[in-house]
Amino acid sequence: MDGLDGTLTSAVQFWGGVLGYLDQGGTFVFRQKDVGAGHWEMTDISVQMNGKALFLKTSAVREKEIHSDFRQLPETTTLKQAANFLEANDGAREAGY
């Protein structure tokens, strides 16, 4: 199995609704992928839910994350080299590369 999709078919109440609730119809998607050498990573997360937590007003959660372009570094890579690699690639990603 590489993922999980779901829809709330009924409302979900926490401690009878006192601590909060999630409305019926909320959806979620989770996907994972083997990114090399049998190492699995979450690649897609999407959550769309409405509800209420504790005494806060009703709120909506809309979250979507996509992770891609996984690369394996040589086993001899130090933590400092890995940090430098990540910093350099974050800058390239922000510039649209």
Q: What does the pLDDT look like over 21-74, one tens digit per residue?
A: 999 999 999 999 998 888 899 999 999 999 988 767 777 888 898 888 887 888
Residue 42's identity, in one-letter code, is M
Residue 28 forms part of a structural domain? yes
Residue 78 forms part of a structural domain? no
Full domain range(s) for residue 26: 3-69
The first and second tokens of residue 61, run together, are 């959660």
Residue 80's φ and ψ, nearest 5 degrees, are: -65, -45
Residue 18 forms part of a structural domain? yes
Q: Tell me how many domains the chain contains.
A: 1
Residue 44 forms part of a structural domain? yes
Residue 81 forms part of a structural domain? no
Q: Is the confidence at residue 95, as pLDDT, over 50?
A: no
Q: Is the confidence at residue 1, as pLDDT, over 70?
A: no
Going by C-beta distance under 8 Å and a sequence separation of 6 or more, which residues neighbour residue 21? Answer: 11, 12, 13, 14, 51, 52
* Confidence (pTM): 0.63
Residue 40 forms part of a structural domain? yes
Residue 21 forms part of a structural domain? yes
Residue 76 forms part of a structural domain? no
